[in-house]
Chain A
Amino acid sequence: MKRRELFTGLGQTSASACKPEIRRMANLIPNAQFRTQDNKDVRLYDDMIKGKQVMVMMMYATCETFCPVATKRMVELHHQALAHRMGKDLFIVNVSLKPEEDDPAALKAYAEAHGALLPGWTFLTGSQYDVDTLRYKFFSHDHIGIDTNIDMHAGSMKIINDPIGRWFHADTFASTRTLLEHIQWSDPPKSLAERLKDNRRLQQQIEREVDLYGYRKIA
């Protein structure tokens, strides 16, 4: 029933009077059929995104510029700080920009070469049409000259939190601290008590920094 809702006109019909319905992600992500590095057929939205917190990245196997760097960066981050969450409540989906070249075997080879065959990490290939739809709808810059350039999207990453209907940009070349903060920004909403606790922790961190480096010290 939920699936059907996705394909009917949404805004025009009067929605139920109770809670707002959040469907942004379903509108942005095509629910097309893709194939994983393990030769398994999946639906992009239903199987990979729906109800999850996912980092979506674009790459292609023969990419020599920024895809391997971005992949390496995420592997490092996985080992440093994310291993306890990956595959449980946090996932990575890499979508091939050149799906016609990249068959599942090629993707598996790429993943193996970069040590990215890790829990919760999926590489996808599909039809050119579906990949382009994803790019133009979700990774779009609203600029035709840029959006048609494949390298434009190589190595780019978005963090999706589907249950709260929100997505964030992230820069894979940022520091570990910044990247983790970006992932934390996209975490499901916390209770007020937890947020206050986080706030207290942040204040302690500020004060510690001032003590250590004097960087935030006041006049």
Chain B
Amino acid sequence: MSELKVGGKKRGAKNTREDGGAQSLKVDRRTVVKGGVIAGAAAVIATKNTAAFAQESYPEDPPAPEGPVLCDPRPANSPPTTPFVDNLPIAAPATPTFLNPFPTRVANIGAGEAARDAHQAWQHFPPQVFYECVAAPSLHTFHSDLSPTYCWTFNGTYPAKTFLGYYGVPQLVRFRNNLPVDHATAGINEITVHLHNGHTPSESDGFAGDFFSTGLWKDNHYPNVYAGVDQYGGIGDPREAMRTFWFHDHRAEFTAPNNYLGLNGMFLLYDQKDPGHELASPGSLRLPNYFGLTDIPLQLHAILFCPTANGRNEAYNTGAVPGQVDKWIVNGKIQPKFTVRRRKYRFRILNTGMVKEWNLSLIGSDGQQKPMTVVAVDANFVEQPFDISNRNLLIPVASRYDVIIDFSQFAAGTSVYLREAQAQFVGVATPDPAPGLKIENVAMRFDVIEREPWFPPDTPPIANHLIDMPPAIVPDDYFEWHFTFDGSPRRFRINGEVFDHNRIDHAVLKGSSEEWVIANDVIAGNWTHPVHIHFEEGRIMSRSHTNRDASGNILSVDNVPLLPEELGRRDIYRVPGQDRLVIRLRFRDFVGRYLIHCHNMNHEDNFMMVRWDIVETVEELVQKRREIDERRMMAGLPPQYGNGKKNGRLV
């Protein structure tokens, strides 16, 4: 019997089923375990997965619950729930596994893999760690007072298990679609999974038109490299590091309902600066960094629940519309409580959407706002950490904020509250938890206790200077994206067009950099778009706001000072009506089809999304740009390039 060395401990493999293939699998298993140890997931592998290794080909499908009972008419509000009953769940790290058939560079059509381009980075960064992620229906209980709810989940847990990866250790995730063919949800049983905002080759990026149906699967190859591989060699420029990602379904037209049903999860990457532990090590920032202990993901969500039917509390099936959802959910629980020790904690806050923006603040038991220190915005560390102590932390859809809360400032035995500015429905009479704080505004509660001897001691004070920014970008080219709501039929449009996965709206040259303008041309105050650009992080250069009179004449164009969270690199740009953002991006290492879209999932499902391509050669660039302009002129739209504006200087 082979023995598996995991986390320094010898552990006899118990499962007799693995006898047959044990010898041939040995090498791979060790590689997998090694990768896992580096990623800081050693403890979990050690406790959990000797059995999973032995499975023949795929983990067993979770028993599929019967489809949801349709909830109609829409209830006025969700059922009442008592606050602070459930503990905050934390999505466990995903466990590596074996994949059979073994992943291949070219799509393994014969074995049921979805059609795709060949993996671009396969030879340079062959995957070392393998995961399987099965999308299937399952039941999840959002509160002890509620019955289970029908969800669509990855590997049967809500939220999905967290991927912990390490820069330089390429990984591959096999997404299998086991969603039911026959169902009554508002979602659709076709998925394409986007890693937001990984430096991912196009064929693994979860392009909105690349979805695959039930029974098929697809390998997403994540090289886990920094941007700038071509420029700097190795695994790229470490200054480009991003850390807090999330993955979610990106199926065109159905992103909102599929995410509402639960098809999303978090994905963290570690490196020397942020190594997954808090001990002194070269280059480490020594921020709170033990996943699940002191480094906690907080996935914010909102749902409208229906009264009990068939023994379940189903989620209202078109609850994506704002103003309908009325229960605030953190990590899959309504108003949970979480016990914290008197030391620093890091929370990786993610807004999973679909539409709701969160306005968070930390309130002490005296009713006063307490400081939260922001260290990272949209996966990127900020240069200088800053406190949120006299305003709300505004989190647009799909944005991530890493905040550090120092609980040593609170006495043991007291509670601290995470306040959301918008009130939810509670329905159970509860006294105000703190002076001036309504129970309806509380998203979750932290209960402070003294640190026990076994718990890791506090980390040193947060450094004043976290990272050096990558060198300033000198743009080679200039392009404008105009987000509008016009035309007939009136639609959300970008540069006058709605989403078509077969159409290209902009082409950029691999290795070049561009200055992009993101302008929201709707009337001020009408629609705010959290704009997301796939593949590359951008830096905001400036933001301006146009003031108009009632008839639309421009009164003034004001420069809007950037907030501290806008000074670093971002992948979500919040653009209110009549705002105009200038950003700069670089496009390196990979080519293919990428997207720019509004991440308000209702807007992107209504086609507020267009495709842009990174191309290899100047000839291809010229050709594609010419085609774009010819097509636009045929459709009666102004050309984009060489029209007197600065657009397209390269051509």
A19 to B616, CA, bound (A): 51
With A151-B488, A218-B117 already in contact, the answer to whether A175 and B503 are too (CB < 8 A) is: yes
The listed residue (A11, A12, A14, A219) touching B590 by CB distance below 8 A is A219
With A169-B607, A199-B109 already in contact, the answer to whether A192 and B488 are too (CB < 8 A) is: no
A216 to B592, CA, bound (A): 7
Check A175 against B502 for contact (C-beta < 8 Å): yes
Question: Which B residues are in CB contact (< 8 Å) with A13?
Answer: 309
A31 to B480, CA, bound (A): 46
With A12-B309, A154-B489 already in contact, the answer to whether A23 and B70 are too (CB < 8 A) is: yes
Count contacts between A and B, CB distance < 8 Å.
Answer: 143
- Name the 7 nearest CB pairs between A and B, nearest first: A20-B67, A156-B489, A203-B115, A202-B115, A20-B184, A152-B490, A66-B488
Check B109 against A200 for contact (C-beta < 8 Å): yes
Q: Which of B128-136, B209-217, B294-302 lies on the face that meets chain A?
A: B209-217
B72 at the interface (CB under 8 A from A): yes
A192 to B181, CA, bound (A): 10
- Contacts of B93-113 to chain A: CB distance below 8 A: 107, 109, 112
What is the interface residue range for chain A against chain B?
35 or more
With A19-B182, A171-B498, A216-B592 already in contact, the answer to whether A12 and B109 are too (CB < 8 A) is: no
Question: Which A residues are in CB contact (< 8 Å) with B590?
Answer: 219
B256 at the interface (CB under 8 A from A): no
A58 to B490, CA, bound (A): 13
A27 to B186, CA, bound (A): 13
Check B500 against A175 for contact (C-beta < 8 Å): yes
Q: Identify whether the interface residues of A are mostly helix, strand, loop, or mixed.
A: loop
The listed residue (B70, B120, B216) touching A195 by CB distance below 8 A is B216
The listed residue (B70, B216, B613) touching A199 by CB distance below 8 A is B216
Q: Which A residues lie at the B interface, using CB under 8 A?
A: 9-15, 17-24, 27, 58, 65-66, 141-142, 146, 149, 151-156, 164-166, 168-169, 171, 173-175, 177-178, 181, 189, 192, 195-196, 199-200, 202-203, 205-206, 210, 214-219
C-beta contact mask, B485-508 vs A, less than 8 Å → 1, else 0?
001111100000011111100000
Check A178 against B503 for contact (C-beta < 8 Å): yes
The listed residue (B68, B73, B216) touching A20 by CB distance below 8 A is B68
What is the CB-to-nearest-CB distance from A69 to chain B, in angstroms, rounded to a whole number? 9
The listed residue (A9, A21, A154, A171) touching B184 by CB distance below 8 A is A21
The listed residue (A23, A165, A200, A219) touching B591 by CB distance below 8 A is A219
Question: Which A residues are in CB contact (< 8 Å) with B118?
Answer: 218
A209 to chain B: closest residue by CB: B117
The listed residue (B72, B488, B489) touching A10 by CB distance below 8 A is B72
- Contacts of B197-227 to chain A: CB distance below 8 A: 212-216
With A66-B489, A203-B107 already in contact, the answer to whether A171 and B500 are too (CB < 8 A) is: yes
Check B309 against A9 for contact (C-beta < 8 Å): no
Check B184 against A195 for contact (C-beta < 8 Å): no
A145 to chain B: closest residue by CB: B526
B287 at the interface (CB under 8 A from A): no
Check B69 against A20 for contact (C-beta < 8 Å): yes
What is the CB-to-nearest-CB distance from B324 to chain A, in angstroms, rounded to a whole number? 9
6 inter-chain pairs at a CB distance below 8 angstroms, sorted by A residue, are A23-B72, A141-B606, A175-B500, A177-B502, A192-B215, A195-B215
Check A166 against B188 for contact (C-beta < 8 Å): yes
Check B489 against A155 for contact (C-beta < 8 Å): yes
- Of B184, B491, B510, chain A has the most CB atoms within 10 Å of the CB of B184
